[in-house]
Structure 1
Amino acid sequence: MGTATAIGIDLGGTNIKGALVDMSGKIIHRMTQATNCFGGEKDNGQRWKKAIFQMVAELKKRSAVAAVGIAAPGLPNAANSAIRLMPERLEGLAHFVWADYLREKSVWVLNDAHAALIAEARFGVAKGSKNVVMLTLGTGVGGGILIDGKLYQGKDQMAGHLGHMTLDVDREDAGITGMPGTLEDAIGSATIFKRSFGRFASTNDLVEAYKGGDHFATYVWLNAVRKLALGLCSLNNLLSPDLFILGGGITHTSDALYKPLADFMDVYAWKNAGRKTPVLQAHYSDMAGAVGAAGFAFLKMGIIGGNDVDVTLPV
């Protein structure tokens, strides 16, 4: 068989990432642009839908593609043709059938964090590992769970929404699932303006101030990282994975994230004969969702092992 290619699109609340990917997980070409879904008159997502249409058209100019994968927040339908539920964000996404809009026969849709885990399990830092937990830290916080080499999806593909775990039961405000004081609220970029009392508009701005020694920024940032450590340690107690993977735009903060995270995890982790669960940066960084979407398309087309995501992933 020759080298087939697929297009993967990762629709996020802040950016849209696109990638032309081959069967080995190699990114042949990548594209990124702002989602532009905040502010202004509501347009039912017409701006970012058009941006994805143009991105797919541009990537198709570079290679004949076997299929297109779309990774997006929310819960996909049983046919993986659309996201069936995405409350409060990305208006116009729910029930939107991408194959019709893109005028492509083979278009497959899945949750963005599940896509990121597929990329890392098949091609990235989790290759060879059987039990893995991944968190994607961006506008929101997504997650994915690999158990015994299989992506665990649960009933109606709802499993893995790790950002919606409650860390503070006394918080009155609730996230999109109705859970109070969630990990997503604690570190997701969507809440940074509120968490910083209007002082910072983005996580990048906050972290730059923290790195510059700003005391208030240090408090806000380290409080978020501490809550991430608590979430990871809780997941470790529940699932005892081989490793954790962190992906998404917030991980670009690098040492500003990983050094204090390691210190906090040393405090909270269950001491078990000195064993520490590694916390690794995603190989594909914030392109993991796009690569995983392409990988999912390969899976659904039977081009690489298995024809469904809920099968053992070759590792």
Structure 2
Amino acid sequence: MKTAIGIDVGGTNSKGIILNSEGEILNEYSVPTNDDGEGKWRETILEVVQHLKSVHYEPIELIGLSCPGFANEANSCISYMPGRLLGVENFQWEAYFATRTFVINDAHAALIAESAFGEIRGYKNAILLTLGTGVGGGLLINGELYQGLSQMAGHFGHTTINAGDDELSILGMPGSLEYALGNYSIKRRSSGRFSSTYQLVQGYKDNDPFATWLWLDSLRKLSLAIASFANALSPEIIVLAGGITKADAALFTPLNAFLDVYEFRPKEKQTIIKQAKFSDLAGAVGAAAFAIEKAKNRTTPAIGLPHI
């Protein structure tokens, strides 16, 4: 298979792309996920697939789907996803799409995209953080995606930043990085003043005092998390992906200033911080790349990275 559809099921929007084996995005399509608590969001995903198939010049017989949660060992479905996307657990996408389909955790997919075609290419040890509705992550060790027990490695968003915060993440962690930065919590964190991180960043750009405090407080916590990950794992590079990275300088300039304070830099060495090449399409690109590689040998274990 040289071409595949990649779908990234996000908490806010679901994005689809058509990808070839050279990493070129041939087409893309995005719609609101509509996670209404009744499982109707699956119809939205089917719409994305049908649209992409309809606009391509030849039949597409392969789909990669990235989604929050833990994929099963066969990469045929998400086996565990509490709290969101009702009906996703053990849902068999291949039968639903009537197309050969491989399923992978969304942050793991983003790491694959950046390792195969993006900013992590050429590095052996790296961390990728996805900043969007929540905060996810992926870990590259010696050139391979490390998935760990139950394929749950890389859930950096559930690192505790403030243990005194009673707000628990979906994995039960108090004061998590995901709560401090994720789009899902912005209404609570801002006492209802902002309904999205986009609005918060706009307020920061407009010099609104409250928005400035809240945004910089979130980035300070992100910097503390990044410095902690660097201390524990010492990666060569940390790449940030996801919709929040579209804030560009409003994100990276304060973040780097905080890292100047908190990151341990022996002999002036510091961790490279970069924005993902594929931004909020990283999950979809990685899912398609993963499917192309898996289709070469369906019995391949769900580890490693694509060698496209």
Q: TM-score range by the shorter chain?
A: over 0.9
CA deviation after TM superposition for structure 1 residue 308, in Å: 4.4
The 3-state SS of whatever aligns with 1:92 is coil
Q: Which residue in the other structure is 1:52 paired with?
A: 45
**Residue 310 (structure 1) aligned with residue 303 (structure 2):** yes
Match status 1:267 vs 2:255? no
What amino acid is aligned across from residue 13 of structure 1 in structure 2? G
**Aligned in 2, Cα 1:149/1:313: closer, same or farther, shift over 3 Å?**
farther
Partner of 1:292: 286
Moved over 6 A (4+): none
Normalised by the length of structure 1, the TM-score is 0.94
- Aligned partner of 1:18 in structure 2 is 16
Query: Which whole-Å CA distance do the structure 1 matches of 2:119 and 2:302 have between them?
Result: 18
Give the Cα separation in 2 of the matches to 1:293 and 1:307. Answer: 16
1:94-122 CA-to-partner distances (Å, cap 9, x unmatched) read: 11111111112x11111000000000001
Contact 1:211 1:256 in 2 (8 A): yes
Instruction: Tell me which of 125, 142, 148 is aligned to 2:119.
Output: 125
What's the TM-score once normalised by structure 2's chain length? 0.96
2: distance between equivalents of 1:111 and 1:65? 22
Aligned-residue offset at 1:307: 4.0
Aligned counterparts of 1:94 and 1:224: Cα–Cα separation in 2: 31
The answer for the alignment partner of 2:151 in structure 1 is 157
From 162, 177, 182, give the equivalent of 1:183: 177
Q: Any gaps of 5 or more consecutive residues in structure 2?
A: none
Counterpart in the other structure of 1:75: 70
Question: Mind listing any 5+ residue stretches in structure 1 that lack a counterpart?
Answer: none
Q: Secondary structure at the match of 1:251?
A: helix
Q: CA deviation at 1:66?
A: 3.9
State whether residues 151 and 309 of structure 1, in contact with CA within 8 Å, keep that contact through their aligned partners in structure 2.
no
Q: Tell me the CA shift for residue 313 of structure 1.
A: 5.1
**Distance in 1 between residues matched to 2:145 and 2:15, nearest whole Å:** 23
Query: What is the Cα deviation at residue 56 of structure 1?
Result: 1.0
CA distance in 2, matches of 1:51, 1:189: 21
Amino acid at match of 2:72: N
**Distance (whole Å) between structure 2 residues aligned to residue 311 and residue 8 of structure 1:** 18
Shift of 1:162: 0.6
Deviation (angstroms), 1:70 = 0.6
The residue that corresponds to 1:88 in the other structure is: 83
Cα deviations by residue, 1:266-310 (Å, 9 ceiling, x for unpaired): 00000211111111111011000000000110111118xx94451
- Residue of structure 1 in register with 2:128 after alignment: 134
Number of matched pairs: 306
Q: CA RMSD in A?
A: 1.6
- Contact kept? 2:241, 2:276, Cα under 8 Å: yes
Corresponding residue of 2:30? 32
